[in-house]
Amino acid sequence: MKETIDRLRSEGSERIKAAGSESEVEAVRVALLGRKGEITSLLRGLKDVDPAERPAMGAELNRLKLDLGELLDSRQAEIGGTGGSSANLVGDLTLPGVPPAAAGTNHPLLTVLESICDIFYGMGFSRDDGPEVELDYYNFTALNFPDDHPARDIQDTFYIDPKVCLRTQTSPVQVRTMERNEPPLASIFPGRVYRNENADASHSSEFFQIEGLVVDKSISMADLKDTVDTFVRNFFGADEPTRFRPHFFPFTEPSVEVDMQCVVCRGSGCGVCGQTGWLEIMGAGMVHPNVFKAVGYPEDVYTGFAFGMGIDRIAMLKYGVGDIRLLYENDLRFLTQFRGVF
Amino acid sequence: MKISLDWLAEYVSWDDTPGELAAKLTSVGLNVEGLEEYRQTFPEVVIAHVVEREQHPDADRLSLCSVDDGTGEPVQVVCGAPNVREGLTVLFARVGAVLPGNFKIKKSKIRGVESFGMICSANELGLSSEAAGIMELATELAPGTPADELYGFSDTVLDIEVTPNRPDWLSHIGVAREVAAIYGTMVSMPPVWSFQPSSENLGFQIKIEDPDDCHRYGAFGASGVQIGPSPDWMQNRLRAIGSRPINNLVDITNYVMFELGQPMHAFDRAKLTGDTITIRAAEPGTLVTTLDEQERKLGKGTLLVCDGDGPIALAGVMGLANTEVTDSTTELILESAFFNPKLVRTASRGLGLVSESSYRFERGSDWDMVEKAALRALQLYHDLAGANILPAWADRQDPDRKAVQSIPLRLWQVNRVLGTSLTTDQVAQHLQSLGLKVQPMGNSGKGSRNAVDMMVRIPSFRRDLFQEIDLIEEIARSYGLDNLSGGSGFCGAGGGVRDQDDLMQRRMRHWFSDCGYHEMVTSSFLGSGDNERLGMSEEDPRSQTLAVINPHHGGDTQLRTTLLPSLMDVVRRNLNAGASTPVRLFQINRTFWPAGAKRTDYLQKDDLLLPEEPVFLQFAVAGWRRSGLDGIPSDLLEIKGSLESLGTHLRLSLELEAADSEIWLQAGSQWLIKDRNGKVVGSAGRVDPGVLDRFDIELPVAVAEINLSAADLTPEPMKFQPFTRFPAVRRDLSLLVPAETNWSSIRETVINSAGPLLEQVELFDIYRGKGVSEGKGAFGIRLKFRSQKGNLKGKTVDKAIVKILEGLSGRLNIEPRSQD
Ligand SMILES: [Zn+2]
């Protein structure tokens, strides 16, 4: 039997090498390993072998069977078969797949909002919400907007009655949060805000903002700068230069606006950035002592910073959307483009 | 605010390109939003002499001229101006010149005569609105000299965003102060008139009824003024910053306003009556005609300047027509004042009239500038209008309101807020560079909490500086915000706490989008008539809406109490746009319920005025006509399936109960949604066809709305249960079910009859028709049995099946379908 095994090993490998097509390889496979193949019949004949030799022979035969099987597979792969046995083919594997469900979308505004929140959650911020129909007191007075001061002109406000308005900014949530909590505080306040103005390509009477607030015993402007830089690095990428410009907001002082190098022209000036090379992305500053006073914090104990940004503008920049109204039409030809965006 | 660099250079010097200057101004807070090259240039327009002038052969009013334009060849040109004559020196536009308004000069034929160019009027060159005739020059410059030598002007204009706290930047001198601080140079003030002492009297005294309304009022006089165009340099600068030159008298007050920031007003003295100028509040309802020829009705609190007869100006806003300076004016009274900013603002808002003057006054002007600016204007009246300045003037002031004060500053607070380690000397230098005067208090300079390290004196042009933090901002600007660094990281905030409602909403949003729904962001406002379209009765509490009282033009006013109208709008839009159906949509948004203000957690009692703002989840399947299992519309089954699956994925219990409760859902096709406590938190079903019709939607819409603020959204806690590894036994049954019997009762009966071994029961088919007796349905159900104790024997399962069939037969009259 030993000789037969040796002969089959050499002959078999020769025949496999000689096979020139998938069907020839298959024919050799049948002749050697098939139900009536030579190796199969040898295996059947094992029972007639001397019991002392039987285990060795059995092992030898099995090894031969495996080796030839491997040779057959690799020869088949060489010729260009599918790798599997053609007997297992079910049909046209290029037919369209069947998804478990149709692909929906999340709204790009909320996707952007969510990813911004995640960055701040990672930095240890909590989250608070406040009413959209807000007291004039929280929207303006407690935020150090003097009554009847031009600073109020910046924001055209929808009023429900003289004491109640639709919030023009997420900043009133700062005040509500401070009123209810003692520092240390680090929180973000995302949400919808309203401005009493006519809609055009860059203005909407409703839009989204996110506000952030940090208060503790020695929070400095340098901390604000670090926080903003960390955010920009995470959200826009590692290499985006930022600059701080002094600005004015009644509820922070010193106040700044933060610009990022224009993502379109990389600083050389283009239509998107009004030729300045910079894009304004947020307003920020150190919480004004008058705001601390309004929430009842003792004088000189705490310092803190606050920042706020418009989500719509950032989404438009990020995805190249030129008209803010597209964000509120909910047209599927718009929304479906955001499939898979997170 | 537009700043001309040509103009600015008169007061300060800097050694930098305009771009660099703009960048440095931006970095200290004067945000330069635009940098524009301003050019007034006239290519192909030259000085020329009219050598000959004849009548045009075919037109009485036209002249045929021969012009020497310096080329050596006389040029033939037709001219229509009445004042053209031989020997004039004129500005001549050659063929090829392009005049303002893109007016191209071409060779042309006018009434049969060829004309090669045009002799220009000042109007045609954009130099004046005068269109009377061609310009007559008195210049020695030779023919052919470009017109630019006389009238060319080029400038760089910065467009600066000025925040409301810095009215001092609404002038060239204010910007010059910042330039001087940046470059370490000096500001030089323009020349002003100096009075010789005199005992003469102006002829008017000033009366201020309430010193709170007007802190200072000065009146100055000039006689013998000659009205005419202002000089080119003044016109050029005004034009460069977008202000139209009118005549020397008007231009001078405008020029000084843009130069020094102080708005002033000139009256025609001949039109003033009496001997007193009175500043008083208007009687409400007074009618006046302002300089812009508008008749205006004054509201309460409008501050007036009056003469013997009555109002002559709306203080700080605009003069009145009755005392306007005109071509025949020879004597002026110049007003320079400090009006209460709030009053100017009230008047300007009330009248809907914002002027350059009111814009500055309402932001707060500079006390000292009241006098300085007037003297500057007088100097210009003298120099440019030949005026004789009256040696007497009247000045009524309340010196207590002069805005000069000293603010204590602590080094400790400076370094704490900025995260810096500045010394007393460094802080003092930063402040001094901005024109603030610093008096050190002789402390150690170590900066301790209670030590005032210096007193800082505030000049009158910085009315925005009141308290220590204002000075710290100035130090930050001067130090450079980009130099701040090395924050400690805000330690001690204790780490963030994730809000559970927010997490739950986030999971919902992702679950819906993963399942094929598209997320909407819709307006908080209802469209007009939306609630009527829903068929909402007046008794429905949701018909009570909040409304804004001052919507922008044409805007919607009512805040929504339900999300449905916004869905209808989005569905209609998308179906009309040919979206493929079904359209699956969802949103999580707030609604506003005015009646619901039952807050207990308020800190301000006015919080009771605020509405409840419940957050709703809404999802919908629109435009699907298909039928599903047993003929039920697929959209209804999908809404139900989505809700159940949502519950499973979020570990919530959301039960549906068939009931007709929602007015805008179709009867017999709707459910109530209950949370795990059995509380009704929403509804689901098919939108009523009448409602669809009123929203112009022709295809069905199935929708569910859940009040997330009312529902118990705590996820079912997860606790591991040991499971058995013994195999399950499956059995299928085919049942003949009478028409009236619903699946829910079958399921319940099966479970109750089967005993503890039944693990799962599923409906996999309903068949009606051939082979099934009329009125009945063949229900295919699959049962799964398992024992916790060992392998189930067939006989045990058989016994359970018998019990189930007995139960079904006994309680619901359901028999197994025979297998024939
Ligand atoms: Zn750009």
Q: How does pLDDT run across B326-341, given as a tens digit for each residue?
A: 989 999 999 999 999 9
Residue A83, pLDDT score: 47
Read off the DSSP letter of residue B577. T
Residues 367-426 of B with CB under 8 A from A: 413, 416-420
Residue B138: pLDDT band (50, 70, 90) is confident
Secondary structure E strands in B633-711: 655-658, 665-674, 680-687, 701-707
Q: Are residues A214 and A329 in the same domain?
A: yes
Residues in A touching B514 (Cβ below 8 Å): 101, 104
The neighbour count for residue B795, using CB atoms within 10 Å, is 7
What is the set of domains in chain B, with CATH numbers?
2-40+154-183 (3.30.56.10), 45-151 (2.40.50.140), 205-402 (3.50.40.10), 406-481 (3.30.56.10), 501-547+557-707 (3.30.930.10), 729-816 (3.30.70.380)
> Considering CB atoms only, which of A134, A148, A214 is closest to B342?
A148
pTM of the shown model: 0.82
Q: Are residues A213 and A307 in the same domain?
A: yes
Residue B820, pLDDT score: 47
Residue B666, pLDDT score: 95
Q: Are residues A205 and A295 in the same domain?
A: yes
Q: A224 to chain B, minimum CA–CA distance in Å?
A: 8
Between B61 and A79, residue with greater pLDDT: B61
Q: Can you read off the two tokens belonging to residue B585?
A: 């949509």
Q: Are residues A124 and A227 in the same domain?
A: yes
Residue A84, pLDDT score: 47
- Widest CA span in chain B: 132
Count CA within 13 A, CB hemisphere, residue B263. Answer: 23
Residue B191, Cα to own-chain centre: how many angstroms?
A: 41
Residue A328, pLDDT score: 95
**Is B379 in a helix, a strand, or coil?**
helix
- On whether any CB of chain B is under 8 Å from the CB of A118, the answer is no
Q: A90 to chain B, minimum CA–CA distance in Å?
A: 27
Residues 238-257 of A with CB under 8 A from B: 243-248, 253-257
Predicted confidence (pLDDT) at residue B33 exceeds the cutoff of 70: yes
Residue B81, Ramachandran bin (φ over 0: left; ψ between -120 and 50: alpha; else beta): beta
Between A119 and B72, residue with greater pLDDT: A119
Say if A300 falls within a structural domain.
yes
Predicted confidence (pLDDT) at residue B129 exceeds the cutoff of 70: no
User: Using the beta-carbon criterion (under 8 Å), do B611 and A133 form an inter-chain contact?
Assistant: yes
CA geometry: angle at B263 spanning B259 and B269, to 5°?
120
CA geometry: angle at B352 spanning B349 and B356, to 5°?
85
Cα distances from B98 to residues B38, B43, B236, in angstroms, run 17, 7, 20
CA of A318 to the centre of ligand 1 (A): 13
CA of A279 to the centre of ligand 1 (A): 8
Residues in B touching A221 (Cβ below 8 Å): 417-419, 476, 481, 484
Residue A88, pLDDT score: 59
Residue B59, Cα to own-chain centre: how many angstroms?
A: 58
**Rounded (10°) CA dihedral B610, B614, B615, B620:** -130
Between A2 and B261, residue with greater pLDDT: B261
Phi, psi of B331 (to 5 degrees): -125, 140
- Collect all residues with Cβ–Cβ distance below 8 Å to B804 and sequence separation of at least 6: B733, B749, B750, B753, B754, B758, B783
Residue B133, pLDDT score: 84
- On whether any CB of chain B is under 8 Å from the CB of A286, the answer is yes
User: Using the beta-carbon criterion (under 8 Å), do A223 and B33 form an inter-chain contact?
Assistant: no
Give the C-alpha separation, B287 to B588, whole Å. 53
Q: Can you read off the two tokens belonging to residue A226?
A: 């670090």
Residues 77-96 of A with CB under 8 A from B: none
Q: How many domains does chain A have?
A: 2
Residues in B touching A130 (Cβ below 8 Å): none
- Give the residue from B377, B303, B376, B370 showing the smallest Cα distance to B337: B370
Residue A236, pLDDT score: 86
Residue B553: pLDDT band (50, 70, 90) is low
B583-590 and B518-519 as β-strands: parallel, antiparallel, unpaired?
parallel
Residue B623, pLDDT score: 93
From A118, which residue of chain B is nearest by alpha-carbon distance? B498
Residues in B touching A186 (Cβ below 8 Å): 490, 493, 496
Residue B206: pLDDT band (50, 70, 90) is very high
- Give the residue from A158, A244, A16 showing the smallest Cα distance to B550: A158
- On whether any CB of chain A is under 8 Å from the CB of B551, the answer is yes
Final residue before a domain boundary, out of A51, A84, A117: A84
Give the C-alpha separation, A264 to A316, whole Å. 12
**Among A59-63, A248-252, B586-590, B641-645, where is mean pLDDT lowest?**
A59-63
Give the C-alpha separation, B96 to B116, whole Å. 10
- Give the residue from A340, A329, A283 showing the smallest Cα distance to A306: A283
Q: A132 to chain B, minimum CA–CA distance in Å?
A: 8
Residue A81, pLDDT score: 53
Residue A136, pLDDT score: 92
Between A233 and B665, residue with greater pLDDT: B665
Secondary structure E strands in B572-654: 583-590, 615-622
> Considering CB atoms only, which of B467, B473, B574 is closest to A331?
B574
Query: What is the average pLDDT across B261-285?
Result: 94
User: Using the beta-carbon criterion (under 8 Å), do A164 and B609 form an inter-chain contact?
Assistant: yes
Predicted confidence (pLDDT) at residue B448 exceeds the cutoff of 80: no
User: For residues B115 and B105, is the Cβ–Cβ distance under 8 A?
Assistant: no
User: For residues B505 and A106, is the Cβ–Cβ distance under 8 A?
Assistant: no
- Give the residue from B608, B606, B612 showing the smallest Cα distance to B594: B612
- Give the residue from B25, B27, B29 showing the smallest Cα distance to B8: B25
Q: Are residues A123 and A265 in the same domain?
A: yes
B287-289 and B406-409 as β-strands: parallel, antiparallel, unpaired?
unpaired
Mean pLDDT, all residues of chain B: 90
Provide the b/e sequence for B10-46 (b: ≥16 CB within 10 Å): bbbebeeebeebbbbbbbbbbbbeebeebebebebbb
Residue B128: pLDDT band (50, 70, 90) is confident
Q: Are residues A204 and A314 in the same domain?
A: yes
Residue B629, pLDDT score: 84
Say if A250 falls within a structural domain.
yes
Residues in B touching A302 (Cβ below 8 Å): none
- On whether any CB of chain A is under 8 Å from the CB of B581, the answer is no
Q: Can you read off the two tokens belonging to residue B144?
A: 């052919």
User: For residues B412 and B451, is the Cβ–Cβ distance under 8 A?
Assistant: yes
Residues in B touching A154 (Cβ below 8 Å): 164
Q: A94 to chain B, minimum CA–CA distance in Å?
A: 24
- Collect all residues with Cβ–Cβ distance below 8 Å to A181 and sequence separation of at least 6: none
Which residue range is the domain that position A13 belongs to?
2-84
Residue B771: pLDDT band (50, 70, 90) is confident
User: For residues B519 and A104, is the Cβ–Cβ distance under 8 A?
Assistant: yes
Q: Are residues A36 and A120 in the same domain?
A: no
Q: Measured between alpha carbons, how far apart are the two ends of chain B, in Å?
A: 94
Residues 586-625 of B with CB under 8 A from A: 590, 592, 603-604, 606-607, 609-611, 613
User: For residues B678 and B692, is the Cβ–Cβ distance under 8 A?
Assistant: no
Ranges in chain A, pLDDT < 70:
80-89, 150-151, 153-155, 238
Say if A140 falls within a structural domain.
no
> Considering CB atoms only, which of B487, B494, B579 is closest to A222?
B487
Q: A46 to chain B, minimum CA–CA distance in Å?
A: 39
Residues in A touching B342 (Cβ below 8 Å): 148
Q: Can you read off the two tokens belonging to residue B663?
A: 């007015």
Give the C-alpha separation, A19 to A80, whole Å. 13
Query: What is the average pLDDT across B457-470?
Result: 91
| Signed CA dihedral, B296, B299, B302, B308: sign only | positive
Q: Which residue has the tokens 């500057």?
A: B376
Say if A40 falls within a structural domain.
yes
Helices (H), A85-185: 108-122, 136-139, 172-180
Residue B601, pLDDT score: 64
User: Using the beta-carbon criterion (under 8 Å), do A223 and B488 form an inter-chain contact?
Assistant: yes
In a 10 Å sphere around its CB, with 0-12 CB exposed, 13-18 middle and 19+ buried, how is residue B139 labelled? exposed
Say if A138 falls within a structural domain.
no
Say if A308 falls within a structural domain.
yes
Residue B762, pLDDT score: 93
Give the C-alpha separation, B734 to B140, whole Å. 116
Q: Are residues A64 and A116 in the same domain?
A: no
Where residue A258 sits, what CATH number does that domain have? 3.30.930.10
Q: Does a cis peptide bond (omega within 30 degrees of 0) precede residue B541?
A: no
pLDDT > 70: what percent of chain B?
A: 96
Final residue before a domain boundary, out of A52, A84, A116: A84
- On whether any CB of chain B is under 8 Å from the CB of A98, the answer is no
Find the helix or strand (DSSP H, E) in which A207 lies.
strand A206-216
Query: What is the average pLDDT across B234-251?
Result: 93
- Give the residue from B422, B425, B426 showing the smallest Cα distance to B413: B422
pLDDT tens digits, one per residue of B592-638? 998 655 666 666 778 888 999 999 999 999 999 888 888 889 999 99
CA of A202 to the centre of ligand 1 (A): 16
User: Using the beta-carbon criterion (under 8 Å), do A221 and B512 form an inter-chain contact?
Assistant: no
From A225, which residue of chain B is nearest by alpha-carbon distance? B485
User: For residues A322 and A316, is the Cβ–Cβ distance under 8 A?
Assistant: yes
The neighbour count for residue A17, using CB atoms within 10 Å, is 12
Amino acid identity for residue B59 in this structure: A
Say if A101 falls within a structural domain.
no
Residue B492, pLDDT score: 46
Say if A141 falls within a structural domain.
no
Q: Can you read off the two tokens belonging to residue A49?
A: 């072998």
Q: Are residues A125 and A10 in the same domain?
A: no
Residues in B touching A113 (Cβ below 8 Å): none
Q: Are residues A187 and A124 in the same domain?
A: yes
Residue B78, Ramachandran bin (φ over 0: left; ψ between -120 and 50: alpha; else beta): beta
- Collect all residues with Cβ–Cβ distance below 8 Å to B200 and sequence separation of at least 6: B390, B391, B392
Q: Are residues A205 and A301 in the same domain?
A: yes
Residues in A touching B510 (Cβ below 8 Å): 106
- On whether any CB of chain B is under 8 Å from the CB of A289, the answer is yes
Q: Are residues A326 and A188 in the same domain?
A: yes
Residue A339, pLDDT score: 92
